[in-house]
């Protein structure tokens, strides 16, 4: 197998992330954040700040850097700081101090005196449930409230009432932060009216476009570089405050500016996954066939509503066959940090509710939870006539059950001081593509370059580009260089939504024949090596009858530096023919301490149907990472926001994510059915599906071990007191 | 203040060091060694792990002045010619994802194998508990540590 | 800010007397976090890393004198037999990186109610040796803490050592957290049997404003053991006695709800830990007799 092409640089310490660049003359910016959750800033006294050693500038809403609100088709509006005096959450950026050194900037920032006109802050999702608002339409453009009822059925309540077996339960999931290891940061350098921005982001061209709009400069005058990104998970889609303030201050001061959020600031000054409350009502007949499914969802969102966690539309809308379906999605505007998409937005917390409820239904029916899921597997989303293009969820479950030893679950299991339980859950995540352009270049030294702006936030996209390029050009991957993470390359869009592999693969499938055509034209054209002859391309060579040459030889003979072509692709006609999703079956074994009630993972297995697996190592890493995210969601992480709006645990000592010692053996298996109905390379996304269902599988296993049903994550010790 | 120390075998000095500054900041911003990463500034994540007189420590929790006259090794100094066997194993096993935690993991792994050439899985997991990976490539990392142990 | 780097104990005390506002820094694992997070900006740092008198431990007049600058990693590797409870606690501190730097002296200086050393030191009846240019004093650990992150240390004083009598019986330490490592205790408990004096040592962590012993519970258990002749007979610890001891330890705590756990859970956990550590230690005490025989 080809090794990850980024590994040597990352292991030698030579990979340069945004903040690792220090141009000559660099000065340092420090963001000042609000200490109230709601109100207006009436004054900011910065005299002492300006007088502090090394301070070059202080920017506030009263003395702001000019920034305009950028708008993009993919991301919508992006908030820019310091443009008004309104405070709508604790930890909101309200100032920016630039000094010769970081410590000077931070020290000086302590001296800012802010006067607020405080207003009452709404910070409780529970308190806001009663007057929640309807959420905007779903990703599919469907209204937030949606019903599919069988003929003759008057209401979902009627359908539920007529069901032989019913479950009615309410679940809660916590606010979460992406907590990528690399804090949001930027180094901004202006030269001759052109900005170069070094900053980790999920899409360099999107970053450049947002900065150009915000700074009101020609898009061609902004170059965003992100060759290495220290994790993103949805949290680096929108350009961040470090980038906006760093770039604007660098322009104002005529000096390169380096700006990074501290870890504490990351928890408020970037964005979070919303908290959710979800009520599930499921009805089934005595054989376990669903007769009615109602999923009511509430999501926290910002005071001026922005991102809403689409828990019901992301799960119950599509997962199971049911004659009667009712979905609602509401939002509760709060004075809390911004909300945005985070790994498996909708599906991750939504699956905790749906798959816990399915487990409760299995218990009520006295049925094997695996059997219940197999029995209700959907052929198409209810009420939609587009069938799944390629669905092998049944195989995931049967293979997984066998491999995991699921049949052993009925034994009463106590291992010394530990109660042992098994749990399972379904995982699904839509297969999507984004518009994408990839440039393919053949070079005289018989190497090729595959280039797109995009980003590899750790997924392995850089390696995948080389592999797809090699495959399409029929040459060894070692001869294909990937260029990525530079907004001046053809627009590759965003590494997000588990789309990148399918998107670049589709574009390369278009671009490779085009560059080969261009090569053939060079070979057969005037002065070409095979001028006027019939030729064919194979394995990196151009073949004429009785003769052949490598593409490098063809280019050298013609005196050409390169031939190049750009392949573009976008989701299209296939969307009118099928529904697309990846599928998976999650299994886990947990141990709950009989006396102290500590919960520990002891085994995990995920079996996934994600189309073609392009790079085994990177794919397994993505899947394992997602499954461990599920452990984290179930047992560790949750941002607690106090009544005042202040996060109670906004640092790595108290916002817990699992350490190596918490993670057991993680077994991953794929069923491998390339989905060429979705895209020519047959790969569907797998970065997000892996987290889906895990938290429910764990809660279900905890129930199996203890008989205690915990309907809120993260599960805490006191939930399990008897 | 001025500090003088040995970094990766080379005598280095830095001027105008602020007295409360961390060794991590001095390495990254004053000595041109950004391989050690800053991700939490409270010793929770291990991204900044370096050796101080041969022992792995979080550089964010060492005052730069405390490193006066001491020997520091960073990820940039881990390899001699070519990659160290630990680095090689991380490459081979694909034990890198975003890569931000990787320098710290390498330092902790090398220290572990120097102390215990054949650690058990639980010992590996415990020894690496001070290094957070949010991509959570813990399984591949475990593979890499086992491989490095076997190859040394 | 000044950076003071004394190279002897005498010089360190002079520095502290001259700069009472200086913050002592040893391993830096607490102090640097406060600096990095801007929670404090002291006028001076007093680096104790170069003070040789703090850097070692020795047996001194029948007691272990553990220099305040000895890192946890050495407590674990060198003192498992002399300070078993503390060595057990040290193993649960942070990560290897933290254990390479963090010190028991620093843990005491920070005086956090969640400090891992404290329950073990309390149970072992340890004392803190404190120095200043005015002289040296010794304070029992049970009297050292005065409030959340507060202690009896005067502005001109520094901790020089911890003094502990080597154990005459088994010691145990138990700590609960939601992770398997890198855990700040939800609650913790230290337990020691002192057969030489027929007493019991206890230490509660993370369940009161300060680390504290449970003297009433300890006296109850020691008394019951005495009354039943168990110190001599080394008979089994009755389960009901262990449970009642757990209950009394729980009642000695004053836990609160916080982000790591609820008061109710902490109370439950303390009663469990006290019951279990007492049982483990008593079983070890019985085994000692068997292996000796």
Residue in B47, B134, B145 to test binding to A, most A beta-carbons within 10 Å: B134
Q: Supply the CATH number for residue B62's domain.
A: 3.10.20.30
Judge whether C182 is closer than 8 Å to chain B, CB to CB.
Answer: yes
Spatial distance between the Cα atoms of C91 and A172, rounded to a whole number of angstroms: 36
| CB proximity B65 to C under 8 Å | yes
Average confidence (pLDDT) over A8-31:
96
Q: How many CB atoms lie within 10 A of CB A557?
A: 17
Tell me the HSE value of B8 on the side-chain side, using a 13 A CA sphere.
Answer: 14
Contact B98 A182 (CB under 8 A): yes
Equal fold, A7-120+179-270 vs A436-570: no
Pick from C164, C190, C213: which residue ends a domain? Answer: C164
Is residue A1 very low, low, confident or very high in pLDDT (cuts 50, 70, 90)?
A: low
Q: Does A13 touch chain B (CB under 8 A)?
A: yes
Tell whether B27 and B71 lie within a shared domain.
yes
CATH of the domain at C279: 3.30.390.50
Asked if C36's CB is within 8 angstroms of B1's CB, the reply is no
What is the pLDDT, as a whole number, of residue A73? 86
CB C217 within 8 A of CB C278: no
Closest CA relative to residue B48, chosen from C101, A618, A28: C101
Strand, coil or helix: A598 = coil
CB contact under 8 A, B25 and A102: yes
Distance to chain C for A269, nearest Cα, Å = 16
- Indicate the burial class of A702 (C-beta count within 10 angstroms; 0-12, 13-18, 19 or more): buried
Q: CA-CA distance, A436 to A506, in Å (whole number)?
A: 8
Query: CA B51, CA B111: separation in Å to the nearest integer?
Result: 9
- Whole-number average pLDDT of chain C: 96
Contact A458 B40 (CB under 8 A): no
C220: part of which helix (H) or strand (E)?
helix C215-227
- Are C268 and A654 within 8 A, CB to CB? no
| CB-based contact, A649 to chain B, within 8 Å | no
Domain boundaries, chain A: 7-120+179-270, 146-175+273-431+577-720, 436-570
| Residue B64 and residue B91 in one domain | no
What phi, psi does C119 have (nearest 5°)?
Answer: -60, -40
User: Per the CB < 8 Å rule, is A7 touching B90?
Assistant: yes
Taking CB atoms and an 8 Å limit, are C179 and A658 in contact across chains? yes
Q: How far apart are the first and last CA of chain C?
A: 62
Q: How many domains in chain C?
A: 2
CB-nearest to C33 from B42, B112, B131 is: B42
* Domain endpoint, select from B43, B77, B111: B77
A157 is catalytic: no
Q: Are C41 and C149 found together in one domain?
A: yes
Residues of chain C whose beta carbon is less than 8 angstroms from a beta carbon of chain A are 37-38, 41, 176-182, 184, 186, 258-262, 264-265, 268-269, 272-273, 276
CA distance B15 to chain C (A): 14
C189 with C244, same domain: the answer is yes
The predicted pLDDT at position C292 comes to 52
H-type helices in A499-638, by residue range?
500-524, 551-557, 616-635
Chain A residues closer than 8 Å to B75 by CB = 12-13
Q: Which residues of A409-428 are buried (b: 16+ CB within 10 A; e: fewer)?
A: beeebeeeebbbbbbbbbbb
Contact A215, A222 (CB under 8 A): yes
Query: Is the Cβ pair B43, C25 closer than 8 Å?
Result: no
CA distance B59 to chain C (A): 9
DSSP for A649-713?
S-STTTS----GGG--EEEEEE-----TTT-TT-B---TTGGGTTHHHHHHHHHHHHHS----EE
| Residue C289, pLDDT score | 67
Does the beta carbon of C29 lie under 8 angstroms from any beta carbon of chain B? yes
Same domain, C280 and C232: yes
Last residue of a domain, one of B42, B77, B112: B77
| Cis peptide bond upstream of B20, omega within 30 | no
Which fold does the domain A7-120+179-270 belong to in CATH? Aldehyde Oxidoreductase; domain 3 (3.90.1170)
In CATH, what number is assigned to the domain containing residue C64? 3.30.465.10
Average pLDDT, chain A: 96
Question: Is B57 within 8 Å of C100 when comparing Cβ atoms?
Answer: yes
Contacts of C189 in chain A (CB under 8 A): none
Question: Which residues, in sequence order, are CB contacts of B115 under 8 Å at separation 6+?
Answer: none
Q: What CA–CA distance (Å, rounded) separates B123 from C74?
A: 18
Give the end of a domain, one of C146, C164, C182.
Answer: C164
Q: What is the pLDDT, as a whole number, of residue A410? A: 75
Contact A374, A342 (CB under 8 A): no
Q: Which two tokens stand for residue C47?
A: 């680096």
- Whether residue C246 is predicted with pLDDT greater than 80 in this model: the reply is yes
Which chain C residues have a beta carbon less than 8 Å from that of B57? 97, 100-101
**Which of C2, C21, C36 to probe the B interface (max B CBs under 10 A)?**
C36
pLDDT of residue A436: 96
Q: For residues A583 and A392, what is the distance between their CA atoms, to the nearest angstrom?
A: 7
Residues C166-189 have a mean pLDDT of 94
C192 and C114 housed in the same domain: no
- % residues pLDDT > 70 (chain A): 100
The domain tally of chain B equals 2
Q: Are residues B110 and B52 in the same domain?
A: no
State whether C182 and C221 are in the same domain.
Answer: yes
Domain with B116 in it: 85-151
Tens of pLDDT, residue by residue over A106-133, are: 999 999 999 999 999 999 999 999 999 9
Report the gap between the CA of C146 and the closest CA in chain B (Å): 26
Res. B66: pLDDT tops 90: yes
The upper half-sphere exposure of residue C257, i.e. CA atoms within 13 Å in the direction of its Cβ, equals 5
Residue C290 has pLDDT above 70, yes or no: no
Backbone angles phi, psi at A633, to 5 degrees: -65, -40
Range of the domain at C282: 171-292
Shortest CB distance from C178 goes to which of A648, A653, A656? A656
Contact B42 C36 (CB under 8 A): yes
Per-residue confidence (pLDDT) for residue A407, from 0 to 100: 93
Closest chain A C-alpha to B69 CA, distance in angstroms: 23
Residue A219: phi and psi, rounded to 5, are -55, -35
CATH code assigned at B146? 1.10.150.120
| CATH of span A436-570 | 3.30.365.10
The chains in contact with chain B, meaning 3 or more Cβ pairs closer than 8 Å, are A, C
Verify that C187 and C141 share a domain, yes or no: no
Quick check: B140 and A617 CB within 8 A? yes
Is the CB of residue A293 less than 8 Å from the CB of residue A316? yes
Same domain, C151 and C197: no
- Give pLDDT, residue C293: 47
pLDDT tens per residue, range A192-222: 999 999 999 999 999 999 999 999 999 999 9
- Indicate whether C87 and C196 sit together in one domain: no
Same-domain status, B110 and B130? yes
Check CB contact of C47 with chain B, cutoff 8 Å. Answer: yes
The residue whose two tokens read 């305009």 is A68
- Tens-place pLDDT, residues A471-514: 999 999 999 999 999 999 999 989 999 999 999 999 999 999 99
In angstroms, the CA A182 to CA B44 distance is 14
- Asked if residue C196 and residue C159 are part of one domain, the reply reads no
What pLDDT shows up at residue C40?
84
What is the reported pLDDT for B126? 93
Contact yes or no for A440/A449 (Cβ under 8 A): yes
Q: What would the pLDDT profile of A316-373 be if each residue is shown by its tens digit?
A: 999 999 999 999 999 999 999 999 999 999 999 999 999 999 999 999 999 999 999 9
When CB atoms are compared, the residue of B34, B92, B100 closest to A231 is B100
Tell whether pTM > 0.90: yes
Burial A147-178 (b: 16+ CB within 10 A, else e): bbbeeebeebeebbeebebbbebebbbbbbbb
Active-site residue identified among A309, A355, A449, A688: A688
Residues C125, C10, single domain; the answer is yes
CB pairs under 8 A between A and B: 183
Q: Which residues of A touch C258 (CB under 8 A)?
A: 648
CATH topology of domain A146-175+273-431+577-720: Aldehyde Oxidoreductase; domain 4 (3.30.365)
Q: How far apart are CA A453 and CA A438, in angstroms?
A: 8
Closest Cα to residue B46, out of B28, B65, B59, B35?
B59
Q: Do B143 and A665 form a contact (C-beta atoms < 8 A)?
A: no
Please give the residue that has the higher pLDDT: either A140 or B100: B100
Domain stops at, among C111, C142, C164? C164
CB atoms under 10 Å from CB of A408, counted, come to 10
pLDDT digits over A53-110, tens only?
999 999 999 999 999 999 998 889 999 999 999 999 999 999 999 999 999 999 999 9
Under the banding of pLDDT at 50, 70 and 90, the label for residue C94 is: very high
What mean pLDDT do residues C17-29 have? 97
| Cα–Cα distance measured from residue C119 to residue C202, given in angstroms and rounded to the nearest whole number | 7
Contacts of A16 in chain B (CB under 8 A): 34
- Which of B102, B122, B129 is facing A10, going by the closest CB pair? B102
Give the confidence band of A412 by pLDDT, cuts at 50, 70, 90.
low
Tell me the C-alpha distance between C30 and C112, whole Å: 10
């Amino acid at each position: 197998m080809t090794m990850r092409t980024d590994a040597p640089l990352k292991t030698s310490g030579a990979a340069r992330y945004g903040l690792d660049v220090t141009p000559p003359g660099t000065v340092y910016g420090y963001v000042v954040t609000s200490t109230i959750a709601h109100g207006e800033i009436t004054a900011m006294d910065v005299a002492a700040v300006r007088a502090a050693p090394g301070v070059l500038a202080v920017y506030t809403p009263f003395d702001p850097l000019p920034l305009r609100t950028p708008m993009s088709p993919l991301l919508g509006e992006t908030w820019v700081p310091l443009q008004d005096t309104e405070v709508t959450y604790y930890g909101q950026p309200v100032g920016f101090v630039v000094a010769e050194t970081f410590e000077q900037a931070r020290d000086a920032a302590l001296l800012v005196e802010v006067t607020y006109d405080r207003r009452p802050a709404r910070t409780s999702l529970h308190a806001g449930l009663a007057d929640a608002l309807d959420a905007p339409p779903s990703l599919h453009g469907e209204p937030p409230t949606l019903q599919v009822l069988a003929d003759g059925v008057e209401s979902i309540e009627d359908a539920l009432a007529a069901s032989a077996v019913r479950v009615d339960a309410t679940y809660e999931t916590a606010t979460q932060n992406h907590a990528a290891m690399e804090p949001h940061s930027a180094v901004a350098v202006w030269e001759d009216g052109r900005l170069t921005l070094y900053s980790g982001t999920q899409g360099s061209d999107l970053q450049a476009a947002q900065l150009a709009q915000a700074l009101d400069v020609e898009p061609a005058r902004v170059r965003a570089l992100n060759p290495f990104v220290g994790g993103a998970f949805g949290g680096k889609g929108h350009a961040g405050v470090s980038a906006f303030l760093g770039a604007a201050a660098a322009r104002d001061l005529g000096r390169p500016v380096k700006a990074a959020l501290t870890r504490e600031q990351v928890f408020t000054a970037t964005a979070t996954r919303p908290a959710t409350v979800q009520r599930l009502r499921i009805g089934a007949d005595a054989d376990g066939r669903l007769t009615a499914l109602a999923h009511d969802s509430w999501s926290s969102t910002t005071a001026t509503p922005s991102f809403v966690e689409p828990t019901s539309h992301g799960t119950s809308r599509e997962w199971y066959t049911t004659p009667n379906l009712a979905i609602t999605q509401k939002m509760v505007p709060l004075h809390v940090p911004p909300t945005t998409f985070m790994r498996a937005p909708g599906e991750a917390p939504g699956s905790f509710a749906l798959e816990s409820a399915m487990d409760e239904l299995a218990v009520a029916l006295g049925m094997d939870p695996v059997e219940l899921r197999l029995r209700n597997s959907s052929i198409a989303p209810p009420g939609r006539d587009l069938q799944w293009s390629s669905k092998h969820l049944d195989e995931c479950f049967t293979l997984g059950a066998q491999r995991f030893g699921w049949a052993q679950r009925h034994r009463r299991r106590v291992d010394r001081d530990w109660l042992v339980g098994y749990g399972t859950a379904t995982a699904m995540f839509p297969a999507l593509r984004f518009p994408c352009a990839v440039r393919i270049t053949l070079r005289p030294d018989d190497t090729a370059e595959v280039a797109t702006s995009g980003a590899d936030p750790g997924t392995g996209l850089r390696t995948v580009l080389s592999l797809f390029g090699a495959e399409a050009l029929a040459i060894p991957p070692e001869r294909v260089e990937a260029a990525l993470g530079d907004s001046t390359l053809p627009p590759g869009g965003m590494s997000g939504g588990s789309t990148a592999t399918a998107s670049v693969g589709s574009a390369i499938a278009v671009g490779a024949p085009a560059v080969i055509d261009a090569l053939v034209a060079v070979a057969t054209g005037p002065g070409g090596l095979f001028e006027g002859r019939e030729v064919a391309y194979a394995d990196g060579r151009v073949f004429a009858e009785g003769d052949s040459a490598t593409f490098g030889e063809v280019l050298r003979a013609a005196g050409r530096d390169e031939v190049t072509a750009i392949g573009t692709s976008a989701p299209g006609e296939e969307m009118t023919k099928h529904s697309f999703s990846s599928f998976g079956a999650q299994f886990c074994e947990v141990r709950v301490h009989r006396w102290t009630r500590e919960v520990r993972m002891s085994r995990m297995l995920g079996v996934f149907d994600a189309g073609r697996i392009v790079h085994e190592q990177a794919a397994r890493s993505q899947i394992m990472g997602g499954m461990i995210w599920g452990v984290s969601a179930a047992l560790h992480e949750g941002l607690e926001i106090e009544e005042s709006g202040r996060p109670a645990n906004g640092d790595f000592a108290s916002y817990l994510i699992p350490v190596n010692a918490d993670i057991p053996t993680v077994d991953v298996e794929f069923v491998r059915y390339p989905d060429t109905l979705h895209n020519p390379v047959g790969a569907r996304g797998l970065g997000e599906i892996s987290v889906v269902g895990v938290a429910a599988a764990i809660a279900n296993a905890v129930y199996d071990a203890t008989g205690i049903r915990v309907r809120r994550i993260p599960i805490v010790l006191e939930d399990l007191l008897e | 203040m001025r500090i003088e120390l040995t970094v990766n075998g080379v005598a280095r000095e830095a001027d105008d060091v602020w007295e409360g500054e961390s060794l991590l900041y001095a390495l990254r911003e004053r000595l041109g060694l950004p391989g050690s990463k800053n991700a939490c500034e409270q010793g929770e994540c291990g991204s900044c792990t370096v050796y101080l007189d041969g022992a792995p420590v979080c550089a964010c929790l060492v005052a730069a002045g405390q490193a006066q006259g001491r020997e520091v090794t960073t990820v940039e100094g881990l390899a001699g010619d070519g990659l160290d066997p630990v680095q090689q194993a991380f490459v081979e096993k694909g034990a890198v994802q975003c890569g931000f935690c990787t320098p710290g993991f390498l330092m902790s792994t090398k220290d572990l194998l120097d102390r215990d050439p054949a650690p058990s899985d639980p010992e590996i997991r415990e020894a690496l508990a001070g290094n957070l990976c949010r991509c959570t490539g813990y399984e591949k990392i475990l593979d890499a540590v086992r491989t490095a142990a076997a190859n040394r | 800010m000044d950076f003071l780097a004394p190279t002897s104990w005498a010089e360190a005390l002079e520095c502290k007397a001259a700069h009472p506002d200086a913050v002592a820094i040893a391993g830096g694992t607490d102090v640097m976090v406060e600096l990095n997070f801007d929670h404090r900006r002291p006028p001076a740092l007093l680096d104790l890393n170069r003070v040789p008198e703090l850097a070692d431990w020795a047996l001194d007049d029948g007691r272990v004198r553990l220099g305040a600058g000895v890192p946890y990693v050495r407590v674990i590797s060198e003192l498992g037999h002399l300070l078993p409870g503390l060595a057990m606690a040290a193993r649960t501190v942070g990560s290897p990186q933290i254990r390479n730097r963090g010190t028991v002296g620093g843990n005491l200086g920070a005086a956090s109610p969640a400090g891992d050393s404290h329950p073990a030191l309390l149970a072992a009846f340890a004392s803190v040796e404190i120095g200043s240019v005015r002289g040296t004093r010794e304070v029992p650990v049970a009297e050292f803490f005065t409030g959340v992150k507060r202690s009896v240390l005067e502005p001109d004083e520094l901790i020089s050592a911890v003094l502990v009598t080597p154990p005459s019986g088994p010691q145990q330490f138990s700590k609960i957290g939601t992770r398997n490592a890198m855990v700040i205790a939800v609650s913790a408990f230290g337990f020691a049997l002192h057969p030489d004096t027929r007493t019991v040592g206890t230490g509660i962590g993370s369940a009161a404003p300060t680390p504290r012993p449970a003297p009433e519970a300890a006296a109850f258990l020691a008394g019951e053991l005495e009354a039943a002749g168990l110190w001599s007979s080394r008979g089994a610890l009755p389960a009901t006695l262990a449970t009642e001891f757990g209950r009394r330890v729980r009642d000695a705590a004053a836990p609160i709800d916080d982000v790591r756990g609820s008061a109710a859970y902490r109370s439950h956990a303390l009663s469990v830990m006290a019951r279990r550590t007492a049982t483990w230690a008593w079983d070890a005490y019985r085994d000692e007799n068997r292996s000796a025989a």
